[in-house]
Amino acid sequence: MQNIIKSTYRFITSLRCAIVLLIVLAISSIIGTVIPQGMPDEAVIATYGRDSLKAWFITHLHLNDLYHSPWFQFLLTVLAVNIILCTVEHFPKTMKLWTHEHRDLSPERLKKFSLSREFKSDFGFKQTVETIRKVLGNRFGNIKEFNKPIDGQWGCIAHKGRFSLFMVYGIHLSIILILLGAFVGSVLGFRGMMTIVEGDSDNLVRLARKNKAIKLPFTVRCDDFRVEFYENGMPKEYISFITVLKGKMEVQKARIKVNEPFTYEGVTFYQASYGSLINEVTLVLTDPEAGKSWTVTVKPDKPAFLESQGITVHVLDFREDFSGFGPAVAVAIMEPNKKPEGSWILIKFPKFHGNRIGKYRVAVEDYKTIYYTGLQVKRDPGVWIVWIGFGAFIVFLFATFYWSYRNVWVSVVHDNDGTRVFMAGRSSRNSFAFEREFDKVCAEIMRAFSMMEAEGR
Amino acid sequence: MSSSFVLSLVTFGWLACSILYVSLMVYRKPFLGHVAKLSAFLVLFAHTAGLLLRWKESYDMGIGHAPLSNLYESLVFGAWALMAVYLFFEQKYGNPVFGAVPSLLAFLAMAYASFSPGVDSRIQPLIPALKSNWLIAHVITCFLGYAAFGVSFGISLVYIVKKKFPHSKLASLFTDMRVLEEFNYQTIMFGFLWLTIGIITGSVWANSAWGSYWSWDPKETWSLITWLVYAAVLHARSVRNWRGMRVAVMSIAGFGCVLFTYFGVNFLLSGLHAYATK
């Protein structure tokens, strides 16, 4: 048992686990882009058939709402745990790098570094040491000197950017912050829709993905909705003019456009959709056999009673564009003791043979529509955590990639052959750029030597 | 001179550059490298001018916006970014022989943008969803990322050729493997950084345009998949010490994801990013 726990822990804390998780998340994400998302279970069954394997898989594994399914959320949670544990496991190694100091400055050891130089100095021991001290001091700030690393010699260690070792933890912390922010938002916030007809007001938000609505502590009234078009017919702007009401008091007026949401008491409203409803329609009913016509005006909530014919005319629905034939209204005619009859009436094609209900030909003489606006409504108290996470992520990513822990070791040896300098360097990242920097340091020391030589003469 | 005329000249400019870069590989004469580099800088200059001209023309039409709003404009900008990033790294590493792949890709993107009947090159006004200051930041950062991954794809191809045929004439042309490997790593880091910023700016923008900073739109999801692939490359390299061949293969796979994020999602999957299809 203990072994199982141990090996499970070891797996969860491993990079292998992280890679497996990333691959599984990537593959499931791909599935989510192929299978239509947001389709209700009933629609899936209707599309693929009740007994089909595909429908079974989709509904049981929640593939139609994959990104919000329990197993996907579980994978994300495991990833968060993995990142935290990997960080905890890895931290001592970084601490070791942070505190560790390579103190063996013998020339033999320095020569073994993949990046090392060796050159002669024509100057005395003291002057050589002085020059190197100055050059390295300028470039690296503090240097740590060892007057007697080995008998009768001088050596030093210079380093820069030791904090860069911790930057990668900043990246991981940012990811945790982002996931935390998303979690806070999903627990404490909500997201839904409101559709308000011009002139109407509402305080109920229908929640997304849930058959539920929540009540706002204030009311929103849609005063006006406008669509503007460019000359070529492309949409230019969708604008809702709204008023926030508390009880009967008007508290605030606002204009909501796409890309310009409006926030009130932590609740944000976005322009998401719009549409039009029929407000009033004037119909001409003709009885061809009798050769008579009647004109009636109908409202959706106010059917018209045509006394002479004993019928009631209702308008039920409206479409801006009915299968490419332009606007149409759904009209129904009721006669006592008869089955109601109805049809879609094409407004732009009065002669269309389908514009007929029972024995009447029906034509639309005039109609008035009214807009409704679709507002997405959101409250997300976690969004600020996400923003901080995003900012931190970018900063730490930069720091991780372009800042590194660079070390230079120097040993100056004075013996019968004269004064010799041994240098070695190592960088935690970007070894190429560091190689150039290292060459520059060496060149600078050489230049200082040659300047001294010129002065000496 | 109209921007579309300048940009169609630029298309042939990139063709000329790719011919020069390929002949550099074939004849291996150093002066060809200088000629290729010089012409690449000239064409990039003309390309920049074309983009700016198109920007100005949109203002003359009274619908001014940055030329980053539809498939045509994103292809043109993508080609520009690819060569700009490539030339930046060529300057830094001083080896012009990698230029064949990026300049060929730039030519193909420009040719597709200019000559495909499915791509509308007219300047269109911005639809409401695109009317935001985030447009410029989001598109530029994403394309810098894509471009760097394109350059890394080219380097990876070269690396594989050199590894598989170490004695071929082509292989003798390139600097040593360590330079290639480091160059590849640098471009991947650069690309990853910009893709990250691109996803983040997109996310912040989506929060004000669509009301959610992440809605698992196919484009978002695929950019995350691409991001995950390159994150895996970077981790494998720094923690597991993967080098050379494996990194090159993964970079090629990653660029496949980039292409799918850009083209595949537009043409095969529907979603909120649908304005990039025409």
A129 or A416, which is more confident?
A: A129
Closest CB from B63, B128, B229 relative to A238: B128
Contact B218 A33 (CB under 8 A): yes
Specify the CATH number for A101-161+404-454; select among 3.30.310, 1.20.950, 3.30.2420, 1.10.20: 3.30.310
With respect to residue B83, please indicate whether it lies within any of the assigned structural domains: no
One domain for residues B113 and B201: no
> Are B207 and B246 in the same domain?
yes
What confidence score (pLDDT) does residue B278 get?
45
Structure tokens of A283? Answer: 């119909």
Domain layout of chain A by residue ranges: 2-94, 101-161+404-454, 189-275+373-392, 277-367
Given a cut of 50, whether residue A345 has pLDDT beyond it is yes
**pLDDT at position B171:** 65
Asked if B204 has any chain A CB less than 8 Å from its own CB, the reply is yes
Residues of A in contact with B222 (CB under 8 A): 29, 33
Q: Which among A326, A292, A323 is positioned nearest to A309, based on CA atoms?
A: A292
List all residues 6 or more positions away from A260 whose beta carbon is below 8 Å from its beta carbon: A271, B208
Are B112 and B165 found together in one domain?
no
Low-confidence ranges of chain B (pLDDT < 70): 94, 169-175, 270-278
Across the interface, whether the CB atoms of A378 and B129 are under 8 A apart is answered no
A271 contact residues in B (CB cutoff 8 A): 128
Residues of A in contact with B180 (CB under 8 A): none
CA distance B220 to B199: 8
In a domain, B88, yes or no: no
When pLDDT is averaged across residues A233-259 and rounded to a whole number, the result is 91
Q: Per-residue b/e over A201-213, b at no fewer than 16 CB within 10 Å?
A: eeeebeebeeeee
- Note whether B137 and B58 are same-domain residues: no
The whole-angstrom distance between B125's CA and the closest CA on chain A is 8
Smallest CA–CA distance from A189 into chain B, residue: B212
Q: Give Rg (Cα) of chain B.
A: 19
From the CB of residue B205, how many other CB atoms can be counted at a distance below 10 Å?
20
pLDDT at B76: 94
In chain B, how many domains are there?
2
| Set of chain A residues whose Cβ sits within 8 Å of the Cβ of B127 | 234-235
Is A230 within 8 Å of B63 when comparing Cβ atoms? yes
What's the rounded Cα separation, in Å, for the pair B206 and B65? 19
One-letter amino acid of A349 = F
Interface subset of B 137-176, CB within 8 angstroms of A: none
Yes or no, beta carbons of B212 and A191 under 8 Å apart: yes
Name the pLDDT band for A149 (thresholds 50, 70, 90): low
Residues of B in contact with A432 (CB under 8 A): 179, 182, 186
Pair B101, B191 in one domain: no
Kindly state whether B92 is in contact with chain A, defined as any CB-CB distance less than 8 angstroms. Answer: no
Looking at the domain assignment, is residue B86 inside a domain? no
Give domain status of residue B187, yes or no. Answer: yes
Query: Across the strands, what pairs with A146?
Result: A155
Residues B133 and B152 both lie in one domain: yes
Q: Which amino acid is at A351?
A: K
Residues B108 and B153 in one domain: no
For the sheet containing A328-334, what is the strand order? A304-306, A311-319, A328-334, A341-346
**In the numeric block, which tokens belong to residue A38?**
């947001």
When CB atoms are compared, the residue of B125, B231, B240 closest to A22 is B231
Do residues B54 and B137 share a domain?
no
What ranges in A221-335 are assigned the alpha helix state H?
none
Averaged pLDDT for residues A54-74: 87
> Which parts of A65-209 are beta strand (E)?
116-121, 143-146, 154-160, 190-197, 201-207
| Same domain? B164 vs B97 | no
Domain that holds residue B152: 126-278
- CA pair distance A197, A258, nearest whole angstrom: 18
Residue-level pLDDT at A15: 81
Q: Looking at residue A414, what is its pLDDT?
A: 80
Please provide the average confidence, as pLDDT, over all residues in chain A. 87
- Please answer whether residues B98 and B175 qualify as being in contact, where contact means their C-beta atoms are separated by less than 8 angstroms: no
User: What ipTM goes with this model?
Assistant: 0.90
* Amino acid A457: pLDDT: 52
Q: Does position A93 have pLDDT exceeding 50, yes or no?
A: yes
Of the candidates A230, A383, A394, the beta carbon closest to that of B207 is on A383
Whole-number percent of chain A with pLDDT over 90: 27
Inspect the interface and report whether the beta carbons of A67 and B128 lie closer than 8 Å.
no
* C-beta separation of B86 from B153 below 8 A: no
Nearest CB partner across the interface for B209, out of A259, A378, A401: A259
B106 with B148, same domain? Answer: no
| Residues pairing with A213 in the sheet | A206
Q: E strand or H helix at B276, and its extent?
A: none
Q: Residue B197: inside a domain, yes or no?
A: yes
Whole-angstrom distance, CA of residue B181 vs CA of residue B248 = 8
Within a domain: residue B174? Answer: yes
Looking at the fold, whether B201 and B253 belong to one and the same domain comes out as yes
Q: How far is the C-alpha of B129 from the C-alpha of B78, rounded, in Å?
A: 21
